[in-house]
Amino acid sequence: MTGRNQTTLSEFLLLGLPIESEHRNPFYVLFLAMYVTTVLGNLLIIVLICLDPHLHTPMYLFLSNLSFSDLCFSSVTMPKLLQNMQSQDLSISYAGCLTQIYFFMLFGDLEDFLLVAMAYDRYVAICFPLHYTTIMSPRLCLFLVVLPWVLTTFHALLHTLLMARLHFCADNVITHFFCDLSALMKLSCSDTRVNELVIFIMVGLVIVIPFLLIIMSYARIVSSILKVPSVRGICKAFSTCGSHLTVVSLFYGSVIGLYLCPSSNHSTVKETVMAMMYAVVTPMLNPFIYSLRNRDMKGALGRVFCRKKAPFSL
């Protein structure tokens, strides 16, 4: 653009959440409690899976990686949000903003792919129980863990490099609690059509396709369950998949509502709330969903920390 100064900004200002000053301290305590719960809950799951041999199965291999992803995903945004809520300095450096974008994309996409791996694991366990150990071999499990890390690393790097090529003018105020791609592109003086095209294409590859794969897996699971004449078998199958379906609903419900709907339909407050749902609330709820609804995790907790013999249930 001509007639406008294109400068390389050294920092941005994160406006954070639209909270009145008199309500800031109660919300600070709330978000601090949520973050501490996220860290401790996901660390507990990782420790239990590592220490209890009964949990050394494909399902819990994926769950431990999901817990690590949730822990890191929340840590990308929450410490800075908490710092800004107690400080008058709302700035984040340009390099810090790009770093936050990279790791936000990395761990957000990683959770996306891990949910697909977990859906496939449940599909094989329910639809092909006699061949489960053969299909879910150690080599395939390793592949289903390593591949998401490789794909998300390059995907996050792609968006970070595309963002680094943009120029920014005088306006450096980000109306969000973290460095969101769409919020940053609105501040750019450069042509963002390439960025928007890549986001549109990658959203289809990274969000829509995995979501459809999960839907297909559970459609097959439901079809298989309905063929089971035993009511007990049906209840057990739905109980096994219930926790995963809850996480999928929370994560994809907020992500699809935010990124796959026209931005003009959402106010800044609604966009912030939906971002909080998948970036903060979902990582916090995952430990409760997988531990409170899972007898294996309860048994592992008893064996590891209470040193009591607890029954192991499939």
List, in order of start, the domains of the chain with CATH numbers: 11-293 (1.20.1070.10)
Report the pLDDT value the prediction gives residue 155, as an integer from 0 to 100. 93
Which secondary structure element, helix H or strand E, spans residue 12, and what is its range? strand 11-14
As a whole number, mean pLDDT of residues 184-193 equals: 86
Reported as a single tens digit per residue, the pLDDT across 164-178 is 988 887 778 888 889
Check whether 284 has a pLDDT greater than 70: yes
Reported as a single tens digit per residue, the pLDDT across 136-153 is 999 999 999 999 999 999
Q: Which residue is it, tokens 């959440």?
A: 17
Buried b (16+ CB within 10 A) or exposed e, 27-57: ebeebeebbebbbebbebbbbbbeebeebeb
